[in-house]
Amino acid sequence: MADLIFLKLGGSLITDKRQTETPRLDVLARLAQEIAEARRANPALQLVIGHGSGSFGHVTARRYATRSGVHTPEEWLGFAATADAAARLNRIVTASLLQVGLPVWSIQPGATLRCVDGRVVAGPEESVALALERELIPLVHGDVALDSVRGGTIASTEEIFDWLARSLAPRRIVLVGEVDGVFTGDPLRFPDAQPIREIIPATFPSLKAAFGGSHGTDVTGGMGAKIDQALAMAQRQPGLEVIICGGLLPGKVAQALSAGLWPGTRIVATG
């Protein structure tokens, strides 16, 4: 699939992660328009869209420590409640994308996800591939998963993308959050932090200490974990580039979906 892009709309972008279950409907509506415009500009563009759980699933998951494991009746209640919260946000995202004429089909990852000690070993790749063949836009999200070691756990959208990329081989993975890329420090706390235009395996170790966690509640790791995941994907698939950018400024997502351009930070296997 020569023109396939995976696009993640981060939970910090599409929800207010500081307030429980608060979607940013205005941001979602604008992002949907940008995605629709990019598809009109390039009819060959194929998309798999994913989104984070933000102030929906993350809050419940943290309360029950779902990612660490699920064994007791109370923890299984939390597992089910986390899935329900993630699904509520998914319905909101689906509606926003359908509203602008995008043929999105929501695929619940947790129904097919299987993990071994927190590592994804099976997922919805067959349904996603068949949806793409039929010119649909598969929509996935971070979700709970059954785990042979932990009982249950959570798979982030990036981990689901990682699994799907092994068989679908996108040319670009775009991770959109609040901040326009990776900086030498948290730019929301340190105004003097400098943007990092490109990261390769050789430069990452010296940068890693500067990365903090996400703002608000995030049970799937902060920026350092996201870059680790991105570098692993880029090294495994020749030619893949991972873009980390912000979506609060108009036009950034449209730019990230255009060939040869990228906002924010580009992560590749070689410079």
**Of 23-37, 131-145, 212-226, 231-245, minimum mean pLDDT range:** 212-226
**Structural domains in the chain (count):** 1
Q: pLDDT at position 220, please?
A: 46
Residue numbers of the domain that contains 23 = 4-267
Q: pLDDT at position 31, please?
A: 98
Q: Where are the beta strands (DSSP E) in the chain?
A: 4-9, 46-51, 104-106, 114-116, 119-122, 137-141, 143-147, 151-155, 172-177, 182-183, 195-196, 198-199, 241-246, 265-267
Is residue 227 within 8 Å of residue 248, measured between CB atoms? no
Hey, which residues does 241 pair with through a beta bridge? Answer: 172
Q: pLDDT at position 115, please?
A: 98
Burial 82-102 (b: 16+ CB within 10 A, else e): bbebbbebbebbbebbbebeb
What percent of the chain has a predicted confidence (pLDDT) above 70? 94
- We report the CATH number of the domain holding residue 122 as 3.40.1160.10
pTM, full prediction: 0.91
